[in-house]
Chains A and B, each alone.
Chain A
Amino acid sequence: EDQVTQSPEALRLQEGESSSLNCSYTVSGLRGLFWYRQDPGKGPEFLFTLYSAGEEKEKERLKATLTKKESFLHITAPKPEDSATYLCAVQARGGSSNTGKLIFGQGTTLQVKP
């Protein structure tokens, strides 16, 4: 069964304290891995797509990396405005119809204190 597990569930950092969030996945064949940010009461906001092992994407203080079993979201020198829940989702290759279905992890809630 296709599955996504994120760790830790919650993370508290001081402003400027770098860290990494983990997303482990098991799928029959990876079509794509997506990182989203979700603020309270809002929908997921797209951050990155990674399609193959070894790929990296970077945006401001965030960097996403991908291996064959997991992805990391590295946060460098975070600021209080980076506080949010970060969601990882995968698309699996599916026979004759690639429908775009996303399988989400439970998310990591990040709190950055000033």
Chain B
Amino acid sequence: EPEVTQTPSHQVTQMGQEVILRCVPISNHLYFYWYRQILGQKVEFLVSFYNNEISEKSEIFDDQFSVERPDGSNFTLKIRSTKLEDSAMYFCASSFRSNQPQHFGDGTRLSIL
């Protein structure tokens, strides 16, 4: 069964450094998402992406965050200057249509020191 893959599984970065989280969505899906989950808290929406542009972003997704689909298979989340509070599990998801089930990867655990 097709699945969403994320790399790396764990990223440790110094505060202030840039980090890029990578995702390969399911191949025929058209909608792409990033969510994050701080330990012990709810899964929170960050951004949705369709037709090569951001369709919605949350208040969390400020100027330090950006997303890109550099080719036909990858979807990336960049954090320009990481803060301690960016430490969380980051999940990528994709769906064929916006109201259809989103399929999630197993996440990247981001630890900011």
Contacts and interface: CB of A to CB of B under 8 A. Distances in A.
Interface residues of A, number: 27
Contacts of B42: 104-107
A65 B12 CA distance: 41
Contacts of B65: none
Given A43-B4, A44-B91, A46-B102, 6 more contacts: A36-B104, A97-B55, A101-B58, A103-B45, A104-B43, A104-B44
Interface size class of B (residues with CB under 8 A): 20 to 34
Interface string A17-52: 000000000000001101010000111111001010
A98 B99 contact: yes
A102 B56 contact: no
Interface of B: 4, 6, 31, 33, 35, 41-45, 48, 50, 55-56, 58, 91, 93, 95, 98-107
B100 A49 contact: yes
A89 B35 CA distance: 13
